[in-house]
Amino acid sequence: MTTITETMASDHRHCDEFFAKAEELIAEGSWEQGRDAFKAFHDATENHFTMEEGILFPNFEQRTGQTMGPTQMMRMEHTQMRQLMADMEAAVTYEDEERYLGLSETLMMVMQQHNMKEEQMLYPMTDQVFAGDAEATLREMKML
């Protein structure tokens, strides 16, 4: 059986790869490819957020009755990361390497901490709460 934890954690790794690639290209000054790599990272991350905010979190909240708990905290961190990604996008537009690398360093720390919390706490909780419906929920998320 595929768990939510495994699937979503592997999606995190996927985003990490895009992130590292974009950062590396931009650090080399390859803006042409760097721009595409950043877009790939941005889209993958936004897609991940949408799956969580659109399906996973609301379903979890419905079943547990907790709306101000961990999911709320995760949403706030999504806001933080969106803000950083918007700033990074501007840095890409202006080809400002120093600014991009400062922001990407910051985003990396937030993102890794956030992922750690989701993978070690929130996802296992959702697997526990959804139990038999976990796979159906995953299918629903993939349709987004």
Partner 1 sequence: MLNTASLSLDQAPPISIPFRFFITAPLFGLAAGLLLLIYGPSLLLTRWSPMTLGLTHLITLGMLAMVMCGALLQMLPVLAGSRVPAVVPVGKTCHLFITAGTGLLVFSFITGGDSANLFGLISLAVGIGLFFFAIAVALLRVKQVTHTVTAMRLALVAFLITLMFGLLLGSGVLGAIGFGHIAPLVDVHLGWGLLGWIGLLLVGISYQVVPMFQVTPEYPMQIRRYLAPAIFLALLIWSVLMLGVIFNWFSAIVPRLWMLLILPGYMLYAVVTLRLQRQRKRRVPDITMQFWRNGMISILLGVAIWIAGNVSEVIANSPQYHLLLGVCLVVGAGLSLVNGMLYKIVPFLSWFHLQNRQLSLMCMTVQVPNMKEFISDKAARLQFNCYFLSLLFLFAAVIKPAWFAHLAGLLFLISNLLLFKNLAMAMSRFRATSQALDEYMIDSKAE
Binding interface with partner 1 (CB under 8 A): 16-17, 19-20, 23-24, 27, 66, 69-70, 73-74, 76, 79-80, 83, 87, 98-99, 101-103, 105-106, 108-110, 112-113, 116-117, 120-122, 124-125, 128
Cα 122 to Cα 93, 115, 116, distances in angstroms: 35, 10, 9
In this structure, what token pair is assigned to residue 86? 């918007």
Helix, strand, coil shares, percent, the chain, to 5: 90, 0, 10
Choice between 129 and 140, CB closer to partner 1: 129
- In angstroms, what is the minimal distance from the CB of 41 to partner 1? 12
Q: Are 4 and 138 in contact (CB under 8 A)?
A: yes
**Minimum CB distance to partner 1 smaller for 56 or for 125:** 125
Considering all CA atoms of the chain, what is the largest pairwise distance in Å, rounded to the nearest integer?
49
Query: Which residue's CB is nearer to partner 1, number 75 or number 139?
Result: 75
Minimal distance, residue 142 CB to partner 1, in Å = 24
